[in-house]
Every structure is written in C-alpha cells, then in structure tokens.
Amino acid sequence: MLRHGLFSRLHRLQALCQLHQPQSSSLRLASAWINPLISHVDPGRAQEVNAEKLFTSPEVQELLTKLTGADLQNKIFRSRRISTPQNRSHYALMTDERWEKTMERMQEEAQHFLQFIPLKEPRVETTETLIVDKEIAGFDKSKFVFTDISFDATDQDRTVVVREVDGSLRTATPEEHDRMNRVYYEKSNRPVVEPAVFSDPYLQDALDRNEHEFLMDWACMYFEVDDPKFISLSKTVYDRIIATKNFDSLYSTRHFGTLVFYLAINNNLPPLLNFFANLGQLSECASLVRLQKSLYPDWRLAIGSYDSDFKILQDYVKQNTRFKQELGDVASTDQSDVYGILKGVISTKLPTLRFNVTMTLDDCFCFLCQAYLHASWALNVNDGHILDELRNFTLFRN
Amino acid sequence: MLRCGRSISQRLISTSQLSAGQKKTETLPTPEEAGWAFNHVEKKKGLYKPKHNIEEQISYMKSKAYLDAYQGLPVHRSYKRNFKGQYMLQPPPRLFCIDKHGRFNVNHACPICRDEYLFFDFRNPGLILQFLQDGTVQPLDILKTGLCREQYNLLSAQLLKAKEHGKITFGVEFRNFDYRQYYPWWTEEPSRQVSRGGLTLPDIHPDPLIEFDAFKPETKTWWDQYWLRHDKFAKKGK
C-alpha cells in the first residue's frame, strides 16, 4: 500500500510538472524553433508565436502535407539496407489497369509513411526534491538511481528517482529518465550511449554523403521529440540544408514538413521558393506563401479568395521587396528570387516551345524577367499571358 | 638451420618495415612506387605482419595492385580453406592467425590476416561491406568468409562502430506517433500503425490462385487395373 501510495504520488507529481511546462507562458521565451540567424520575423512578433499550436492547426497540416510530395520509387519505398535477409523477390504480371490500381494503393500506403514528427518545444529540465535525509549524507561517492520496472509502467510515466550523495532524494531529469528507459528496455538501434553520428565531425560527414533521411529517421527514433538535443540537432540539419540549398535530400520524406514549417515560421521563404520553382511547381510555391501568411496573418497582406497561384506569388514578391527595402536589406537577393521563380515556371511550362526557340532559353528568361521587373503591364498578367508573351517574343525573334 | 633461416627472414622483414616507416613520414608514394602489396614470401609462419595505418589501407584498396590481386571481387571470394572433404564437414574456424606477439602462427592465414594492408576499421566501410549479406547489415557466415574467430569478432565490432558513426546506413524502423500523447488539444485517432518492410505485394495486389476445371478429366482409366491384377493374368498364361 505504502509503495503504491508513493508511486501514485510521484506519478501525479510528474503529471503536474508536465502539465505546467507549456502553461508557464507568462515567462516563456521565444519559441526554440525561431532561429535569429535566419529569421526575418520582427522580435516582438516572434515572442508571441506558439509553434506547437500553429503546427497542429488543420490548415497548416493540410498545406504541409501538400508541400511534402510523394516520390514512391526514389524516396518512400526506396531500397534500404535491412536487418535480416529478404526471402525472395516477388514479380507480378499485371494489366495496365491493374498497374494503375496498384500504384493508387501504393500512394495511399505511402501517406502513412509521411506522418510528420510532432513539433515540440524543448522540455523543461527541472527536478523536484522529495526528501532530504541528512543522516545518510556521504554514504557513497556516487548517486543511486531507482527505476520502476514493474509491468504496468510505460516509458512515459515510469518513476525514476535519484538519491544524491548529500542524502536528498529527487525525481530524475528527463535525460536520466530516457537513459534509464534505454538501459532497462533495450531496443535495436537504441544504444544507451548516444551514437557518434549525432555530433559534429561525423554528423557533417553523413550530411556530405546525403544521408539526411537516415540521420533524421534515426534521431527521431533515438531521442524523444521534445528532447532539447533532438531539437537542436534537427535545427542544425535544417540550417545546413538551407545553407547548401539541398532541399532535395529531405523532399517527400516525413521530415520535409517540419523543414518547411521551420522556414515559414522564420519568414525565410526564398530558398524554398526557388527549390519549388526549379521543380516547376507553381501551385506548391503558392501553397508555401499561403502557409507563411496563415502563420503570420495580416489583413494588409491577406490573400483574396479568388487569387490565382501566380497572383499570390506575384503579390508575395512585391511585398517582400517592399519589406526588404524598408529593412534596408541588400536588394540583390530578392531579384534573384524573382528570376529563379519565373525561370523555373517557364522552363517547365514550355516543353513544346523549346523546339521553336533558336536563341537560348536563358535569353527569354532575362527578357521576361526584366519586363516583369520594370514594366507595369506585368503586374496584371497570369500564367497564360506570360506564355503568350513568350510565344510572341520567340516568333518575333525567328 | 631452419631457425636460423627464419631469424634472417624476420630481420629482413623488420628492416623493410623500418624503411617503409621512414618513407611514410615523408610523403605517401603510390603503392606501385613503394613496391607495396607485392609480398613474395609464401610461407609466413613465424614471420611478423607489417603494420599499416588506415589511410594506407584506403589508398591501397584504390590501387591497381589491389585490383590485380582481387579482380574487383570481395577479398574472401578467392580464398579456400585447406581442409579435406566436404564443405559441410570442415573443421571449426581457427581462433587466430596472428599470435599475441604479432607473428603468423599458420602458413595459410585467413583473407584479412594474410594481406598486410587489410584490417577492419569503421573508417573504411568498403572493406566491411564486402563481408555483409546482400542488402543487409548482417555479416556473412564465418565459414563462408573463411575468417578466423579473432577477425570475425573484429568485423562485428567495427560493423557496429561503423553503424554508430553513420558510415554504414541501415533501415531504421519507422516510429509511429500518436499525436494525442504530444498535444493535449489533439483529438484525432492515429492512423494505422505501419512498419518498414511490413508492406507486401499480396497486401496491395491480392492475386489468389484460380482453380480451373481440368482440361482432360481422368475417366475410363479402368485399364490401369491390369497392373493390379497382373498376377492373375500371369497365372492364366501359365
């Protein structure tokens, strides 16, 4: 009875700690997901951001799912080195209709593998001192950790207490708690000591070999998602992806949503816009802008309900140059953004025109982009218009 | 006499090692220039194995000498243990090829011990990958590789190390999250639990066997009774 009483008390205590962690909003600092090095959010606004709430809102989830993409062959169901040898390959002969049906089923299955990692703020590393027994101070040179390994305790609510050398008994820090879980309940690929690949010389080495997905998959399996180490590791990986513009390494994996959210919440869209533009996905670019505007709603910059994708993008680029001029930032970067977006869109929309074009396609882009930047007519064009203009232009040149 | 000869060869080896060491400190010549990897000593029992570092091993494995020796195949492919009889009945693998003093205790050492540049190290995952089963992170059977116990244990250890240092990647199992655990305001049920490799083609593409009617049903096979009643016929004949 006494034992049960103690455990229930500890459980309640832990539950209380966990409850109080996110609610201490009066003292809360800016979200850990806002990185001042890449952020273009003004500090006052960044203070108010509740990243968890924003991430879980249905609209954001939907946009992130749309932006993630689903590349079955090269990403989701790509071949990986498995732990036990496979029995044998399976070959199936099917009709075209059957093949399409199978691919549809595969698409459905793939959606399960694109579940996002929950985005959490780092947990609070506080402990509660339960008893101070001065009589047994200095009984040993090392601490004693007591872990509840009874049948009904789960990894989350397991009681772990530490008897300090000075005789006080305290609840374990989350780090110690996780370590005890790893010690008593070992799983494959979850060693007690943190693997070397999560820290720097080997982290960079793995990233150089484009093993981003492997690294993040393992990290989310090894760490808890609210572990400060996991959050800093993900931010490091994302920052390096942004620095090298290597978005393809995580595209259409379960980590891409978090990466997009990280950039959107930091109001730093241009690198990702360029990435989608180079893929020629105008609607994805527009979704990205929608996402960013839903995170930081502003009635002056709101998207009209009938705006086309191109209009949304155009507005965003205009507003962004204005912001940058206001901020006194160098205007060279945003020009290249415009070029990149237009270049990507045009190059994919014009498979037929390419045969007629005698000059290089780059010349076309330059012409169109300059026209876009300097002439007022460009502010009202949509996709069709721009294509028409390009067609006229090429005819004229021929 | 024999002992004398051995001591001379030992000295030879040790002096060559010294000169190689001096060269190493200056600049790293190509293996062909240095005359590396051309060890013509056939019977190595009692001789010392020269020591090389990992950079030399990696450069050796890229060299022409290595390509000529192993023909681009895994290093254990051309190795055959010396045993009498069938593969299944071979004796257990030897414990070690190189004793505690660093001398070969056998003439026909295992594929890693016999090559002076080869040893398992996590920084050279290419060598470890040669000893893994196809498409997995499981090492091959020890009798298939022909390794000694010592090298096989080192292989396991360095494989683990290579995995932990991210040098050899593997399929991490998929972690399914229940969002209700992480966000108190989340009410939606989690979707189906999935695991990597849990998806099989029959799940997606159910293709059951169809029972067709037999084209040629077995009727009027009474003549086959002839063989059952053979004795009777034979008696009649008599």
Q: Which residues of B touch A231 (CB under 8 A)?
A: none
Assigned token pair, A298: 């502003």
CA dist., res. B47 & res. A177, Å (int): 53
What is the pLDDT, as a whole number, of residue A12? 45
Q: How far is B76 from chain A (nearest CA, A)?
A: 20
pLDDT along chain A (398 residues), means of 10: 43 46 50 81 78 90 91 89 80 89 91 92 88 88 91 87 92 91 90 93 94 94 91 94 91 93 88 80 84 84 75 74 45 44 51 38 50 40 55 56
B196 touching A (Cβ < 8 Å): yes
Q: Which residues of B touch A233 (CB under 8 A)?
A: none
Task: Annotate B44-80 with b (16+ C-beta within 10 A) or e (fewer).
Answer: bebbbbbebeeebbbbbbebebbeeebeeebbbeebe
Q: Which residues of A touch B164 (CB under 8 A)?
A: 191, 195-197
Per DSSP, what are the bridge partners of residue A162?
A145, A170
Per DSSP, what are the bridge partners of residue A129?
A170
Per DSSP, what are the bridge partners of residue B139?
B132
Q: How far is A353 from chain B (nearest CA, A)?
A: 41
CB pairs under 8 A between A and B: 110
Determine contact, residues A356/A398, Cβ cutoff 8 Å.
yes
- Please give the full DSSP string across B43-103, using - where no structure is assigned: --TTPBPP---HHHHHHHHTSHHHHHHHTTS-TTTT-----SS-GGGPPPPPS-SB-TTSB
Q: Which of B135, B201, B205 sits opposite A82 (nearest CB)?
A: B135
- Cβ pair A189:B172 closer than 8 A: yes
CA dist., res. A117 & res. A225, Å (int): 7
Which residues, 6+ apart, have CB-to-CB distance to A7 below 8 Å? Answer: A148, A159
- Cβ pair B172:A217 closer than 8 A: yes
Residues in chain B: 238
Q: How far is A217 from chain B (nearest CA, A)?
A: 6
Residues in chain A: 398
Closest residue on chain A to B197 (Cα): A82
Which of A283, A231, A279 is closest to A120 using CA atoms?
A: A231
What is the pLDDT, as a whole number, of residue A212? 94
Which of B162, B81, B102 is closest to B129 using CA atoms?
A: B162
What is the pLDDT, as a whole number, of residue A252? 92
Assigned token pair, A241: 């992806």
- The one-letter amino acid at A121: E
- The one-letter amino acid at A63: L
Q: Which residues of B touch A84 (CB under 8 A)?
A: 136, 138
Q: Which residues of B touch A191 (CB under 8 A)?
A: 164
Q: How far is CA B169 from CA A215, A218, B60, B123, B172, in A?
A: 9, 10, 24, 13, 9
What SS3 class is residue A147?
strand
Only one residue has tokens 């026909």, namely: B108
Closest residue on chain B to A202 (Cα): B165
Which residues, 6+ apart, have CB-to-CB distance to B148 below 8 Å? Answer: B93, B94, B95, B96, B97, B109, B110, B113
Q: How far is A124 from chain B (nearest CA, A)?
A: 15
Which of A331, A11, A327 is closest to A171 using CA atoms?
A: A11
- Cβ pair B179:A90 closer than 8 A: no
Q: What ipTM was estimated for this complex?
A: 0.75
Interface of B with A in 141-180 (CB under 8 A): 163-177, 179
- Cβ pair A94:B192 closer than 8 A: no
Determine contact, residues A26/A48, Cβ cutoff 8 Å.
no
Q: How far is B136 from chain A (nearest CA, A)?
A: 5
Closest residue on chain B to A211 (Cα): B169
A327: exposed, middle or buried (Cβ count in 10 Å: 0-12, 13-18, 19+): exposed
Interface of B with A in 12-51 (CB under 8 A): none
Q: Which of B134, B200, B205 sits opposite A102 (nearest CB)?
A: B205
Per DSSP, what are the bridge partners of residue B136?
A82
Determine contact, residues A165/A143, Cβ cutoff 8 Å.
yes
Q: Which residues of chain B have pLDDT under 70?
A: 1-39, 221-224, 226, 236-238
Task: Annotate A143-167 with b (16+ C-beta within 10 A) or e (fewer).
Answer: eeeebbeeeeeeeeebbbbbbeeee
- Cβ pair A117:B199 closer than 8 A: no
- Cβ pair B172:A218 closer than 8 A: yes
Percent composition of chain B: helix, strand, coil (DSSP 3-state, to 5): 40, 5, 55
Angle between the A332-349 and A383-397 helix axes, to the nearest 10 degrees? 80
CA dist., res. B5 & res. B11, Å (int): 10
Q: pTM of the entire structure?
A: 0.75
What is the pLDDT, as a whole number, of residue B31? 58
A388: exposed, middle or buried (Cβ count in 10 Å: 0-12, 13-18, 19+): exposed
- Cβ pair B172:A226 closer than 8 A: no
Task: Choose the mutation target among A79, A108, A115 for the interface with B, i.e. most B CBs under 10 Å.
Answer: A115
What is the pLDDT, as a whole number, of residue B97? 92
Q: Which residues of B touch A155 (CB under 8 A)?
A: none
Task: Choose the mutation target among B168, B182, B186, B194 for the interface with A, i.e. most A CBs under 10 Å.
Answer: B182
Q: Map B151-171 to HEC letters.
A: HHHHHHHHHHHHHHCCCCCCC
B207 touching A (Cβ < 8 Å): yes
Which residues, 6+ apart, have CB-to-CB distance to A247 below 8 Å? Answer: A241, A256, A259, A271, A272, A275
Q: How far is B180 from chain A (nearest CA, A)?
A: 10
Q: Map A181-207 to HEC letters.
A: HHHHCCCCCCCCCCCHHHCHHHHHHHH
CA dist., res. B130 & res. B114, Å (int): 16
Q: How far is B121 from chain A (nearest CA, A)?
A: 15
- Cβ pair B194:A112 closer than 8 A: yes
A284: exposed, middle or buried (Cβ count in 10 Å: 0-12, 13-18, 19+): buried
**CA-based torsion, B143, B145, B146, B149: positive or negative:** negative
CA dist., res. A162 & res. A149, Å (int): 15
- Cβ pair A82:B204 closer than 8 A: no
Q: Which residues of A touch B163 (CB under 8 A)?
A: 189, 195
- Cβ pair A118:B168 closer than 8 A: no
Number of neighbouring beta carbons within 10 Å of residue A114: 19
Determine contact, residues B128/B155, Cβ cutoff 8 Å.
yes
- Please give the full DSSP string across A158-175, using - where no structure is assigned: --EEEE-TTSEEEEPPHH
- The one-letter amino acid at A101: K
